[in-house]
């Protein structure tokens, strides 16, 4: 009999003592049978069980993690506890289904999970899953009974409140305490919808549809749901980018990356019971429409004028199937905005589906003109949404295939012909792409030399180099980045900074400095981190990202978006630098450049508006509790909405446009953006202009720079700083 077959017959570990195994089995059987909490006898939930294929896949995953992952991490008793905590966090992230009594009892299996996972014995994880599903069913039935009593009977005059984020809250002591919490949760949901203008009948129908949908999903739980959740709690111990794909997810692997084919063009991932937006695909419908943002969480999906379908608790692939649809049709997403004060504040975004075309992701250029102190500067700007290459055309031998480097080379030639004084490369919101394109792009700006180092789990280091001694552009250079600049963008920006080839301006980048490979299993696939990027100066781009030479504040919440915001992210470290040229030393001018930038921004109305917006968002993010008193909640809601309106109108005033009369007018205008994908909000981008001003400062402060960077006069000195 194989180990996997033995797993199906014996639920627990042969390595445990007979007494320990019996205790473990008794513990979980008592929980599932309801000895510790009353289970509704009318429930039709059928407990799910592991399969032989899943057990074999578990063994393969454990081996791959131990012997091929970049991080050297063994499967120990300490890991057992971390897997247990991560698994419960996935199944009950807001701590609204399980009680402290449940946790105390389940904790008896905590120290055994590692050994079980090492040998493919899945039953302990499945028993935990089944117990949580039963608790979910109990809670949803409780919620539906409350709705049966009528929401008009609820009292909103008391001075009560509810914690917004319960991810780190204590577990409620028992079922009675959970009952009280769920009463407050439903009151909170009712209040939020009342303040959005819904009447009680519509609210009750909406909530009933939500809870009944979740209840239906709980009853339809599949063995694969439990296995995927359990394996991802396990693989996530190594790093957040290592994950298990079920056979269904593997068939639709690109779904996890983007909905680029007749969809909305958004990168989605599961975030506990929600589907979260990770990033937007450049040139895609969502990006062009402009309202959907990273870290927004999807609550419901509606087709055209149909009623919205609540998708809380749905599997990622099912949400994706619902969002995808025919080109030119409209899908409406109800989302919890990333900056929402609590999970009951939602907005609906209508997006016209379309196909993301390669040409719409291509690099583009413009020339901005700056008049300063009687002198005019012409600054070329190249926007690079992603690092792309038409691999199919390349493999077919098409001499005119599209790629980032080929397109930028052409754009630079056109800008040089236009007589620009300097160049701004805009990599904001560029999530990366083809690694070789980042390498080749660096080569347009340097003579020759290394661009990035890649270290694998065996500490072998590969150095990618630009071997072409030609330089396409040798003038002054500024690279714009933000928190959504990741991976290949960080490689390019880091190399430009290390070479002293230009200044990096903006906010700290994402910090994605790892490389993954997808490996087939007997059942599904494993995406595993196998190597790590390092700059030519030796520092990793992992975790820290690239720190700009001149920083500009951002609306993006670094605490929620970025590698350092992810659990178990690989740490920053460094290896030896490799010899590389140093084209210019900004040490003598950087302080003056920062001072000029600061003075300019402090007097800029656009920057003052940005600061006001960031302060507003930070205040929202700091909200721990929301009131369940109608009058207090209404006052708070009105304050938030008026601030939104005032910021929107201040921006319109800067653009010379008529202000919105009220919030309804603002929302109507936002909804109209979905009607035409090319009618997005063309907000004045003062960040680009500031990049141009920094360029002009560089030229004014040190006229030597132009001569130093001239190809006939500079000397590239190899060094390893």
CATH code of 504's domain: 3.90.226.10
512 is catalytic: yes
What is the pLDDT, as a whole number, of residue 703? 63
Chain centroid to Cα 3, Å, comes to 38
Q: Does residue 357 lie in a domain region?
A: no
38 is catalytic: no
Tokens read off for 551: 């920083």
**Exposure on the CB side of residue 340, measured as CA atoms within 13 A:** 20
Q: Is the pLDDT of residue 524 over 70?
A: yes
What is the pLDDT, as a whole number, of residue 684? 43
Judgement on whether residues 546 and 638 belong to the same structural domain of the protein = no
**Residue 320's pLDDT band (boundaries 50, 70, 90)?**
confident
**Backbone region of residue 652 per phi and psi (left: phi > 0; alpha: psi in -120 to 50; beta: other values):** alpha
Residue from 487, 507, 540, 554 carrying the catalytic annotation: 487
Judgement on whether residues 333 and 395 belong to the same structural domain of the protein = no
The answer to whether 222 and 315 have CB atoms below 8 angstroms apart is no
Give me the residue label for tokens 């915001």. 565
Q: CA distances (Å), 114 to each of 68, 76, 120, 145, in order?
A: 18, 6, 10, 40
Residue from 288, 512, 532, 544 carrying the catalytic annotation: 512
Q: What are phi and psi for residue 479, nearest 5 degrees?
A: -115, 120
Judgement on whether residues 221 and 292 belong to the same structural domain of the protein = no
Q: Across the chain, what does the average pLDDT equal?
A: 85
Last residue of a domain, one of 172, 200, 235: 235
Last residue of a domain, one of 352, 382, 416: 352
Q: Does residue 508 lie in a domain region?
A: yes
Task: Over range 175-187, report the average pLDDT.
Answer: 96
Give me the residue label for tokens 């180092």. 453
* Range with lowest mean pLDDT among 94-98, 99-103, 276-280, 381-385: 276-280
Q: Does residue 480 lie in a domain region?
A: yes
Domain that holds residue 654: 624-675
**Residue 357's pLDDT band (boundaries 50, 70, 90)?**
low
| Greatest mean pLDDT among 298-307, 533-542, 551-560 | 533-542
Instruction: Write the pLDDT tens digit of every residue in 244-262.
Output: 988 876 655 433 333 334 5
What is the pLDDT, as a whole number, of residue 23? 38
Q: Tell me the CATH number at 258.
A: 2.30.42.10
What is the pLDDT, as a whole number, of residue 291? 86
Task: Over range 515-536, report the average pLDDT.
Answer: 95
Q: Choose between 345 and 506: higher pLDDT.
A: 506
Q: Does residue 712 lie in a domain region?
A: yes
Could you tell me where the DSSP H helices lie in 111-252?
Answer: 113-118, 123-149, 175-195, 200-219, 223-235, 247-251
Q: Is the pLDDT of residue 512 over 70?
A: yes
Q: ∠ CA(323), CA(325), CA(331), 5° rounding?
A: 50
Residue from 239, 296, 426, 498 carrying the catalytic annotation: 498
What is the pLDDT, as a whole number, of residue 371? 93
Task: Over range 696-717, report the average pLDDT.
Answer: 56
Judgement on whether residues 182 and 214 belong to the same structural domain of the protein = yes
Q: How many CB atoms lie within 10 A of CB 432?
A: 21
What is the pLDDT, as a whole number, of residue 384? 95
Q: Kindly state the percentage of the chain with pLDDT values over 70.
A: 86
What is the pLDDT, as a whole number, of residue 200? 92
State the Cα–Cα distance between residues 263 and 277, nearest whole angstrom. Answer: 14
712 is catalytic: no
Task: Over range 295-318, report the average pLDDT.
Answer: 87
Q: Choose between 186 and 701: higher pLDDT.
A: 186
- Residues contacting 477, CB < 8 A, separation 6+: 422, 423, 424, 425, 445, 496, 501, 502, 503
3-class state of residue 533 by DSSP: strand
Instruction: Write the pLDDT tens digit of every residue in 622-678.
Output: 888 999 999 999 998 888 889 888 988 998 888 888 999 888 888 777 766 544 444
Q: Choose between 346 and 568: higher pLDDT.
A: 568
Q: Is the pLDDT of residue 535 over 90?
A: yes
Task: Over range 681-687, report the average pLDDT.
Answer: 62
Instruction: Write the pLDDT tens digit of every residue in 11-20.
Output: 333 333 333 3
* Range with lowest mean pLDDT among 10-19, 196-205, 376-385, 500-509: 10-19
- Residues contacting 654, CB < 8 A, separation 6+: 605, 606, 609, 684
Q: Choose between 293 and 538: higher pLDDT.
A: 538
Q: Which of 24, 237, 46, 9 is nearest to 120 (CA)?
A: 9
Q: Does residue 267 lie in a domain region?
A: yes
Task: Over range 432-456, report the average pLDDT.
Answer: 95
Q: Which of 429, 428, 448 is nearest to 440 (CA)?
A: 448
Q: Is the pLDDT of residue 107 over 80?
A: yes
What is the pLDDT, as a whole number, of residue 30? 41
Judgement on whether residues 347 and 476 belong to the same structural domain of the protein = no
Task: Over range 368-380, report the average pLDDT.
Answer: 92
Q: Is the pLDDT of residue 510 over 70?
A: yes
Last residue of a domain, one of 219, 235, 251: 235
3-state SS track over 449-489: EEEEEEEECCCCEEEEEECCCCCCCCCCEEEEECCCCCCHH
- Residues contacting 719, CB < 8 A, separation 6+: 579, 580, 581, 582
Task: Over range 185-196, report the average pLDDT.
Answer: 90
**Residue 397's pLDDT band (boundaries 50, 70, 90)?**
confident
- Residues contacting 441, CB < 8 A, separation 6+: 387, 404, 405, 408, 492
Tokens read off for 666: 């603002």
Q: Is the pLDDT of residue 358 over 70?
A: no
The answer to whether 501 and 584 have CB atoms below 8 angstroms apart is yes
Residue 610: its H or E element: helix 605-621
Q: Kindly state the percentage of the chain with pLDDT values over 90.
A: 55
What is the pLDDT, as a whole number, of residue 640? 86
Q: Which of 473, 445, 458 is nearest to 581 (CA)?
A: 445
Judgement on whether residues 400 and 496 belong to the same structural domain of the protein = yes
What is the pLDDT, as a whole number, of residue 261? 43
What is the pLDDT, as a whole number, of residue 252? 53
Judgement on whether residues 471 and 578 belong to the same structural domain of the protein = yes
Global pTM value: 0.85
Q: Is the pLDDT of residue 27 over 60?
A: no
**Residue 166's pLDDT band (boundaries 50, 70, 90)?**
very high
Chain centroid to Cα 557, Å, comes to 11
What is the pLDDT, as a whole number, of residue 123? 96
Q: Is the pLDDT of residue 61 over 60?
A: yes
Instruction: Write the pLDDT tens digit of every residue in 583-610.
Output: 998 998 999 999 999 999 999 888 988 8
Judgement on whether residues 195 and 249 belong to the same structural domain of the protein = no
State the Cα–Cα distance between residues 168 and 185, nearest whole angstrom. Answer: 17
Tokens read off for 305: 């004028």
Q: Choose between 702 and 577: higher pLDDT.
A: 577
Task: Over range 680-688, report the average pLDDT.
Answer: 63
What is the pLDDT, as a whole number, of residue 613? 87
Judgement on whether residues 317 and 404 belong to the same structural domain of the protein = no
Q: Choose between 177 and 10: higher pLDDT.
A: 177
What is the pLDDT, as a whole number, of residue 671? 67
Judgement on whether residues 519 and 590 belong to the same structural domain of the protein = yes
What is the pLDDT, as a whole number, of residue 97? 97
Q: Is the pLDDT of residue 719 over 60?
A: no
Q: Is the pLDDT of residue 359 over 50?
A: yes
Q: Does residue 683 lie in a domain region?
A: no
Judgement on whether residues 34 and 66 belong to the same structural domain of the protein = yes
Q: Does residue 667 lie in a domain region?
A: yes
Judgement on whether residues 207 and 345 belong to the same structural domain of the protein = no
Q: How many domains does the chain have?
A: 4
Q: Is the pLDDT of residue 208 over 50?
A: yes
Q: Choose between 81 and 248: higher pLDDT.
A: 81
Q: Does residue 30 lie in a domain region?
A: yes
């Amino acid at each position: 009999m194989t180990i996997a077959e033995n797993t199906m017959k014996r639920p627990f570990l042969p390595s445990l003592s007979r007494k320990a195994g019996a205790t473990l089995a008794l513990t979980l059987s008592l929980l599932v049978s309801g000895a510790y909490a009353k289970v509704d006898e009318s429930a039709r939930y059928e407990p799910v069980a592991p399969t032989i294929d899943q057990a074999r896949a578990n063994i393969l995953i454990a081996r791959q993690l131990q012997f091929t992952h970049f991080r050297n991490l063994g499967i120990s008793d300490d890991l057992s506890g971390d897997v247990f905590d991560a698994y419960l966090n996935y199944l009950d992230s807001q701590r609204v289904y399980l009680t402290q009594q449940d946790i105390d009892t389940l904790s008896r299996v905590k120290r055994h999970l590692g050994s079980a996972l090492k040998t493919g014995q899945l039953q302990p994880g499945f028993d935990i899953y089944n117990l949580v599903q039963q608790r979910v069913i109990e809670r949803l039935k409780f919620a539906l009974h409350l709705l049966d009593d009528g929401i008009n009977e609820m009292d909103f005059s008391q001075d009560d409140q509810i914690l917004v984020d319960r991810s780190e809250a204590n577990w409620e002591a028992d079922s009675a305490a959970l009952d009280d919490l769920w009463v407050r949760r439903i009151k909170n949901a009712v209040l939020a919808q009342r303040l959005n203008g819904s009447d009680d009948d519509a609210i009750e129908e909406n909530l009933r549809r939500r809870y009944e949908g979740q209840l239906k999903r709980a009853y339809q739980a599949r063995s694969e749901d439990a296995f995927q959740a359990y394996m991802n709690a396990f693989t996530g111990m190594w790093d957040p980018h290592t994950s298990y794909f079920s056979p269904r997810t593997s068939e639709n692997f690109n779904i996890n990356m983007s909905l680029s084919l007749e969809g909305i063009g958004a990168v989605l991932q599961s975030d506990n019971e929600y589907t979260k937006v990770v990033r937007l695909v450049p040139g895609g419908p969502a990006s062009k429409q402009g309202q959907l943002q990273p870290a927004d969480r999807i609550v419901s999906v509606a087709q055209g004028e149909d009623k919205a379908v609540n998708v809380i608790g749905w599997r990622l692939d099912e949400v994706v199937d619902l969002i995808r649809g025919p080109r030119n049709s409209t899908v409406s997403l109800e989302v919890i905005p990333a900056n929402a004060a609590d999970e009951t504040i939602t907005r609906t975004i209508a997006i016209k589906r379309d196909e993301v075309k390669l040409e719409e992701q291509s690099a583009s250029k413009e020339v901005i003109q700056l008049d300063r102190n009687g002198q005019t500067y012409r600054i070329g700007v190249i926007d690079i949404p992603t690092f792309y290459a038409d691999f199919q055309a390349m493999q077919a031998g098409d001499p005119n295939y599209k790629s980032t480097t080929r397109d930028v080379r052409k754009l630079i030639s056109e800008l040089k012909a236009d007589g620009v004084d300097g160049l701004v490369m805009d990599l904001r919101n560029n999530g990366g792409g083809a690694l070789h394109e980042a390498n080749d792009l660096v080569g347009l700006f340097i003579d020759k030399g290394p661009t990035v180092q890649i270290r694998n789990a065996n500490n072998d280091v590969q150095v990618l180099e630009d071997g072409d001694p030609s330089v396409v552009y040798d003038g002054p250079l500024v690279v714009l980045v933000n928190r959504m600049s990741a991976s290949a963008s960080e490689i390019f920006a880091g190399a430009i900074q290390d070479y002293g080839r230009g200044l990096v301006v903006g906010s700290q980048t994402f910090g994605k400095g790892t490389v993954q490979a997808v490996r087939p299993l007997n059942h599904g696939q494993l995406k595993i981190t196998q190597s790590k990027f390092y700059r030519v100066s030796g520092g990793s781009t992992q975790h820290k990202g690239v720190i700009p030479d001149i920083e500009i504040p951002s609306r993006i919440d670094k605490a929620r978006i970025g590698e350092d915001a992810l659990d178990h992210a690989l740490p920053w470290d460094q290896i030896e630098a490799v010899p590389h040229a140093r084209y210019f030393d900004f040490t003598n001018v950087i302080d003056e450049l920062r001072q000029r930038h600061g003075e300019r921004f402090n007097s800029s109305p656009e920057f003052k508006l940005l600061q006001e917006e960031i302060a507003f968002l930070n205040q929202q993010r700091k909200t721990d509790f929301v009131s369940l008193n109608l009058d207090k909640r209404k006052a708070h809601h009105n304050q938030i909405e008026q601030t939104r309106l005032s910021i929107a109108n201040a921006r319109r005033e800067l653009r010379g446009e008529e202000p919105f009369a009220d919030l309804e007018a603002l929302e109507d205008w936002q909804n109209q953006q979905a009607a035409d994908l090319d009618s997005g909000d063309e907000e004045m981008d003062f960040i680009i202009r500031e990049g141009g001003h920094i360029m002009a400062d560089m030229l004014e402060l040190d006229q030597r720079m132009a001569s130093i960077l001239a190809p006939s006069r500079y000397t590239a000195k190899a060094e390893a700083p």
